[in-house]
Amino acid sequence: MIDFLLNLDVEILFFLTDLAKNNTIIHEISFYVARWGVLVYIVFVLVLWFEKTSKKQIRFNHKVIYITAMTLILAFFFDQIISNIVARPRPFIDYPLIHTLPLSYDSTSFPSSHTLNLFAVSLSMYLLGFRKYGIFLIILALLVGLFRIIGGVHYPSDIICGILIGGLSAYLIANKNSIIRKQVFKLKKG
């Protein structure tokens, strides 16, 4: 069964990297989304932090950012433990002939840190009440993950596990029953 899943992982990888090799538009889109999609999240957090609105909304926004930061810390912790245990090489190292994005990476592939972190932020935003933005950011996180496969820097299973670990991190910190969330929202000053 494990051999079947590993072979499926590689087959999907080859199929998706061939898309970029044979299509300039997909190649360009994959490069920009995989590399710069993270900037959308940074801009979003900065807008939330500096948004000029009521004092109550500003305090709420700041608390959301604090909780999201805690989610990222937990996600980073999980990521470091798992990536050091698994130590899976990136696809372009295992298969030097696949088409890759013109990016240099010497770190491990599993799980996808980009997808893990972006999904942790996206789901946190969703769980904390920014539903529309959360859905938009979840879709962007999925696209970043897809384009990182197309770019040959991750296997599909790296992305799937990144989604699961990022989602777990967000759920543990940002869900409405979380002790951490309850404590942060009890704070009087933002």
Q: Which domain holds residue 6?
A: 2-186
Model pLDDT for residues 49-107, shown as the tens digit of each residue: 787 788 888 888 888 888 888 899 999 999 999 988 988 888 877 777 776 665 556 67
pLDDT for residue 160 = 95
How buried is 62 (Cβ within 10 angstroms: 0-12 exposed, 13-18 middle, 19+ buried)? middle
pLDDT for residue 182 = 80
Q: Evaluate if residue 189 carries a pLDDT over 60.
A: no
- Quick one: average pLDDT of 148-163? 90
Q: Which of 28-32, 35-39, 119-123 has the highest mean pLDDT?
A: 119-123
Q: Let me know: does 14 contact 92? Beta carbons within 8 Å.
A: no
Q: How many domains does the chain have?
A: 1
pLDDT for residue 187 = 58
- Quick one: average pLDDT of 159-179? 90
Q: Evaluate if residue 129 carries a pLDDT over 90.
A: no
Q: How far apart are CA 49 and CA 122, in angstroms?
A: 16
Q: Evaluate if residue 143 carries a pLDDT over 80.
A: yes
pLDDT for residue 190 = 42
CATH number, position 148: 1.20.144.10
pLDDT for residue 104 = 58
pLDDT for residue 105 = 62
pLDDT for residue 90 = 83
- Quick one: average pLDDT of 10-36? 78
* pLDDT-based confidence at residue 188 (cuts at 50, 70, 90): low
Q: Calculate the average pLDDT of the chain.
A: 83
Residue at 43: amino acid letter: V
Q: Report percent pLDDT > 90 for the chain.
A: 24
Q: Evaluate if residue 24 carries a pLDDT over 80.
A: no
The stretches of 87-178 forming alpha helices (DSSP H) are 91-94, 113-127, 131-150, 156-174
Q: Let me know: does 119 contact 138? Beta carbons within 8 Å.
A: yes
